[in-house]
Amino acid sequence: DGWANERAQLKGLMSPDAFASAKETSGDKDEPAWRQAKRATLNSHFTAPAVVDAHWKAAQRLGFKGGRYLDPSIGSGYYQGMMPEELAKTTSVTGLELDHTTAQVAAKLYPSATVRNQGFEAFQSPDGFFDLVASNVPFGNYTLHEKRYNRFQAPIHDHFFLKSIDKARPGGLIMHVTSTGTLDKPDDRIRKELASKADFVAAIRLPGKTHGKAANTEVVTDLIILRKHTAAGPAPEETPPEA
Protein backbone atom coordinates (compact mmCIF):
# COMPACT_ATOMS: atom_id res chain seq x y z
CA ASP A 1 0.00 0.00 0.00
CA GLY A 2 2.92 2.34 0.61
CA TRP A 3 3.69 2.28 -3.12
CA ALA A 4 0.15 3.00 -4.36
CA ASN A 5 0.90 6.51 -5.66
CA GLU A 6 4.08 5.45 -7.44
CA ARG A 7 2.35 2.42 -8.93
CA ALA A 8 -0.50 4.54 -10.27
CA GLN A 9 1.91 7.09 -11.76
CA LEU A 10 4.06 4.42 -13.41
CA LYS A 11 1.05 2.59 -14.80
CA GLY A 12 -0.23 5.83 -16.32
CA LEU A 13 3.12 6.52 -17.97
CA MET A 14 3.13 3.01 -19.42
CA SER A 15 -0.28 3.29 -21.06
CA PRO A 16 -1.21 1.01 -23.99
CA ASP A 17 -1.32 4.08 -26.26
CA ALA A 18 2.27 4.97 -25.45
CA PHE A 19 3.52 1.44 -26.06
CA ALA A 20 1.14 0.06 -28.64
CA SER A 21 3.82 -2.13 -30.20
CA ALA A 22 4.53 -4.17 -27.06
CA LYS A 23 3.74 -7.83 -27.75
CA GLU A 24 3.36 -11.06 -25.88
CA THR A 25 6.48 -13.21 -26.09
CA SER A 26 4.47 -15.60 -28.23
CA GLY A 27 3.51 -12.78 -30.58
CA ASP A 28 -0.16 -13.83 -30.41
CA LYS A 29 -1.65 -10.58 -29.15
CA ASP A 30 -0.98 -7.04 -27.98
CA GLU A 31 0.13 -6.79 -24.38
CA PRO A 32 0.09 -3.63 -22.26
CA ALA A 33 3.61 -2.52 -21.42
CA TRP A 34 2.69 -2.64 -17.72
CA ARG A 35 2.14 -6.40 -17.75
CA GLN A 36 5.20 -6.96 -19.91
CA ALA A 37 7.39 -4.98 -17.52
CA LYS A 38 5.94 -6.82 -14.52
CA ARG A 39 6.83 -10.14 -16.10
CA ALA A 40 10.32 -8.93 -17.01
CA THR A 41 11.21 -8.22 -13.37
CA LEU A 42 12.02 -11.94 -12.98
CA ASN A 43 15.11 -11.41 -15.13
CA SER A 44 15.92 -7.74 -14.66
CA HIS A 45 19.28 -8.26 -12.98
CA PHE A 46 21.20 -5.27 -11.65
CA THR A 47 24.92 -5.38 -12.39
CA ALA A 48 27.21 -3.57 -9.98
CA PRO A 49 29.33 -0.88 -11.70
CA ALA A 50 32.51 -2.43 -10.28
CA VAL A 51 31.66 -5.69 -12.07
CA VAL A 52 31.02 -3.91 -15.37
CA ASP A 53 34.28 -1.98 -15.02
CA ALA A 54 36.24 -5.18 -14.34
CA HIS A 55 34.48 -6.81 -17.29
CA TRP A 56 35.76 -4.13 -19.66
CA LYS A 57 39.28 -4.16 -18.20
CA ALA A 58 39.44 -7.92 -18.69
CA ALA A 59 38.24 -7.59 -22.28
CA GLN A 60 40.96 -5.03 -23.01
CA ARG A 61 43.65 -7.12 -21.36
CA LEU A 62 42.59 -10.07 -23.51
CA GLY A 63 43.01 -8.05 -26.67
CA PHE A 64 39.68 -6.39 -27.43
CA LYS A 65 40.46 -3.01 -28.98
CA GLY A 66 37.10 -2.31 -30.57
CA GLY A 67 34.96 -3.81 -33.29
CA ARG A 68 31.52 -5.39 -33.27
CA TYR A 69 30.10 -5.84 -29.77
CA LEU A 70 26.89 -7.74 -29.03
CA ASP A 71 25.12 -7.35 -25.68
CA PRO A 72 22.36 -9.99 -25.83
CA SER A 73 20.71 -8.71 -22.64
CA ILE A 74 21.41 -4.97 -22.72
CA GLY A 75 18.80 -3.84 -20.18
CA SER A 76 18.99 -0.06 -19.86
CA GLY A 77 22.58 -0.07 -21.14
CA TYR A 78 24.99 -0.37 -18.20
CA TYR A 79 27.70 -2.01 -20.30
CA GLN A 80 27.31 0.56 -23.04
CA GLY A 81 27.38 3.42 -20.54
CA MET A 82 30.57 2.22 -18.83
CA MET A 83 32.49 1.29 -21.96
CA PRO A 84 35.95 2.91 -21.82
CA GLU A 85 36.18 6.00 -24.01
CA GLU A 86 38.97 4.58 -26.16
CA LEU A 87 36.79 1.55 -26.99
CA ALA A 88 33.65 3.59 -27.59
CA LYS A 89 35.39 5.38 -30.47
CA THR A 90 36.03 2.14 -32.33
CA THR A 91 33.13 -0.12 -31.28
CA SER A 92 29.73 -0.63 -32.86
CA VAL A 93 27.14 -1.88 -30.37
CA THR A 94 24.16 -4.15 -30.96
CA GLY A 95 21.94 -4.65 -27.91
CA LEU A 96 18.94 -6.91 -27.37
CA GLU A 97 16.26 -6.34 -24.73
CA LEU A 98 13.03 -8.31 -24.37
CA ASP A 99 11.13 -5.73 -22.31
CA HIS A 100 9.76 -2.98 -24.54
CA THR A 101 10.03 -0.15 -22.01
CA THR A 102 13.62 -0.99 -21.06
CA ALA A 103 14.60 -1.26 -24.72
CA GLN A 104 13.15 2.23 -25.28
CA VAL A 105 15.22 3.57 -22.37
CA ALA A 106 18.45 2.05 -23.73
CA ALA A 107 17.76 3.37 -27.23
CA LYS A 108 17.18 6.91 -25.92
CA LEU A 109 20.24 6.88 -23.68
CA TYR A 110 22.57 5.47 -26.35
CA PRO A 111 21.37 6.55 -29.80
CA SER A 112 24.62 5.39 -31.41
CA ALA A 113 23.82 1.78 -30.46
CA THR A 114 21.48 -0.51 -32.38
CA VAL A 115 18.96 -1.59 -29.73
CA ARG A 116 16.48 -4.29 -30.71
CA ASN A 117 13.34 -5.05 -28.71
CA GLN A 118 13.54 -8.84 -28.89
CA GLY A 119 14.75 -11.90 -27.04
CA PHE A 120 18.09 -13.47 -27.93
CA GLU A 121 16.31 -16.55 -29.26
CA ALA A 122 14.64 -14.39 -31.93
CA PHE A 123 17.83 -12.58 -32.96
CA GLN A 124 19.11 -13.34 -36.46
CA SER A 125 22.64 -12.52 -37.57
CA PRO A 126 25.42 -14.34 -39.44
CA ASP A 127 27.53 -16.71 -37.38
CA GLY A 128 31.05 -15.49 -36.63
CA PHE A 129 30.04 -11.82 -36.88
CA PHE A 130 30.89 -10.27 -33.49
CA ASP A 131 34.30 -9.60 -31.96
CA LEU A 132 32.89 -9.54 -28.42
CA VAL A 133 29.71 -10.93 -26.87
CA ALA A 134 29.39 -9.85 -23.25
CA SER A 135 26.57 -9.26 -20.75
CA ASN A 136 24.93 -10.16 -17.47
CA VAL A 137 22.65 -12.79 -18.93
CA PRO A 138 19.24 -13.83 -17.58
CA PHE A 139 19.28 -17.07 -15.62
CA GLY A 140 16.71 -19.54 -14.37
CA ASN A 141 15.52 -23.12 -14.69
CA TYR A 142 13.48 -22.64 -17.84
CA THR A 143 14.27 -23.02 -21.51
CA LEU A 144 13.91 -20.90 -24.64
CA HIS A 145 12.51 -22.25 -27.88
CA GLU A 146 14.99 -22.04 -30.75
CA LYS A 147 15.14 -24.93 -33.18
CA ARG A 148 18.92 -24.89 -33.49
CA TYR A 149 19.43 -25.38 -29.75
CA ASN A 150 16.30 -27.25 -28.62
CA ARG A 151 18.17 -30.57 -28.47
CA PHE A 152 20.18 -29.31 -25.50
CA GLN A 153 17.12 -28.41 -23.40
CA ALA A 154 19.42 -25.79 -21.91
CA PRO A 155 18.44 -23.46 -19.06
CA ILE A 156 18.17 -19.90 -20.36
CA HIS A 157 21.64 -18.87 -19.14
CA ASP A 158 23.29 -21.80 -20.93
CA HIS A 159 21.28 -21.07 -24.06
CA PHE A 160 22.90 -17.64 -24.08
CA PHE A 161 26.37 -19.24 -24.01
CA LEU A 162 25.57 -21.72 -26.78
CA LYS A 163 24.30 -19.02 -29.12
CA SER A 164 26.93 -16.44 -28.12
CA ILE A 165 29.74 -18.75 -29.21
CA ASP A 166 28.13 -19.24 -32.60
CA LYS A 167 27.72 -15.49 -33.10
CA ALA A 168 31.32 -14.68 -32.09
CA ARG A 169 34.04 -14.61 -34.73
CA PRO A 170 36.96 -17.05 -34.58
CA GLY A 171 39.23 -15.74 -31.84
CA GLY A 172 36.43 -13.56 -30.44
CA LEU A 173 35.60 -13.28 -26.76
CA ILE A 174 32.48 -14.46 -24.92
CA MET A 175 32.24 -12.96 -21.42
CA HIS A 176 29.04 -13.45 -19.41
CA VAL A 177 27.98 -13.06 -15.80
CA THR A 178 25.81 -16.13 -15.26
CA SER A 179 24.34 -18.56 -12.75
CA THR A 180 26.77 -20.85 -10.92
CA GLY A 181 24.80 -23.69 -12.51
CA THR A 182 26.66 -23.25 -15.79
CA LEU A 183 29.84 -24.63 -14.20
CA ASP A 184 28.46 -26.57 -11.24
CA LYS A 185 25.67 -28.80 -12.56
CA PRO A 186 26.56 -32.51 -12.77
CA ASP A 187 25.35 -32.83 -16.39
CA ASP A 188 28.33 -31.76 -18.51
CA ARG A 189 26.77 -32.02 -22.00
CA ILE A 190 26.58 -28.27 -22.49
CA ARG A 191 30.06 -27.63 -21.09
CA LYS A 192 31.44 -30.20 -23.54
CA GLU A 193 29.63 -28.45 -26.39
CA LEU A 194 31.12 -25.10 -25.34
CA ALA A 195 34.59 -26.67 -25.03
CA SER A 196 34.33 -28.05 -28.57
CA LYS A 197 34.01 -24.51 -29.93
CA ALA A 198 35.90 -22.28 -27.49
CA ASP A 199 38.81 -22.19 -25.08
CA PHE A 200 38.21 -21.67 -21.38
CA VAL A 201 40.11 -18.50 -20.43
CA ALA A 202 38.96 -17.76 -16.88
CA ALA A 203 36.12 -17.99 -14.39
CA ILE A 204 35.63 -15.71 -11.41
CA ARG A 205 33.07 -16.59 -8.73
CA LEU A 206 31.39 -13.45 -7.41
CA PRO A 207 30.08 -13.54 -3.80
CA GLY A 208 26.40 -13.00 -3.08
CA LYS A 209 26.89 -9.40 -1.97
CA THR A 210 28.88 -8.41 -5.07
CA HIS A 211 26.04 -6.53 -6.75
CA GLY A 212 25.26 -4.52 -3.63
CA LYS A 213 22.05 -3.36 -1.98
CA ALA A 214 20.66 -2.01 -5.26
CA ALA A 215 20.15 -5.60 -6.46
CA ASN A 216 17.77 -6.25 -3.54
CA THR A 217 18.99 -9.84 -3.47
CA GLU A 218 22.02 -11.92 -2.63
CA VAL A 219 22.97 -14.40 -5.33
CA VAL A 220 26.31 -16.00 -6.11
CA THR A 221 27.24 -15.59 -9.78
CA ASP A 222 30.13 -16.41 -12.08
CA LEU A 223 31.94 -14.35 -14.70
CA ILE A 224 32.96 -16.88 -17.35
CA ILE A 225 35.37 -15.91 -20.13
CA LEU A 226 35.76 -17.98 -23.31
CA ARG A 227 37.64 -17.44 -26.55
CA LYS A 228 36.21 -18.98 -29.70
CA HIS A 229 38.48 -21.37 -31.56
CA THR A 230 40.14 -20.08 -34.69
CA ALA A 231 40.03 -22.00 -37.96
CA ALA A 232 43.38 -23.49 -36.98
CA GLY A 233 41.97 -24.89 -33.74
CA PRO A 234 42.29 -23.91 -30.08
CA ALA A 235 44.27 -20.77 -29.28
CA PRO A 236 47.63 -21.00 -27.50
CA GLU A 237 47.54 -20.83 -23.72
CA GLU A 238 47.29 -17.26 -22.41
CA THR A 239 47.46 -15.48 -19.08
CA PRO A 240 43.96 -15.05 -17.61
CA PRO A 241 42.89 -11.64 -16.29
CA GLU A 242 43.46 -10.90 -12.62
CA ALA A 243 40.35 -11.09 -10.43
User: How big is the CA angle at 103 (ends 88 and 153), to the nearest 5 degrees?
Assistant: 100
Q: What is the pTM of this model?
A: 0.82
pLDDT the model gives residue 100: 84
DSSP string, 67-116: EEEEETT-TTTHHHHTS-HHHHTTEEEEEE-SSHHHHHHHHHH-TTSEEE
Segment among 39-48, 63-72, 99-108, 223-232 with least mean pLDDT: 39-48
Question: In what order do the strands lie in the sheet containing 168-179?
Answer: 114-116, 91-96, 67-71, 130-136, 168-179, 221-228, 198-206
Taken in order 144, 226, 77, 212, the sign of the CA dihedral is positive
Q: Inform me whether the pLDDT recorded for 91 exceeds 70.
A: yes
Q: What residues pair up with 187 in beta bridges, in sequence order?
A: none
pLDDT band at 1 (very low <50, low <70, confident <90, very high): confident
- Residues 175-198: tens digit of each pLDDT: 999 989 999 999 999 999 999 999
pLDDT band at 21 (very low <50, low <70, confident <90, very high): very low
Radius of gyration of the chain (CA): 18
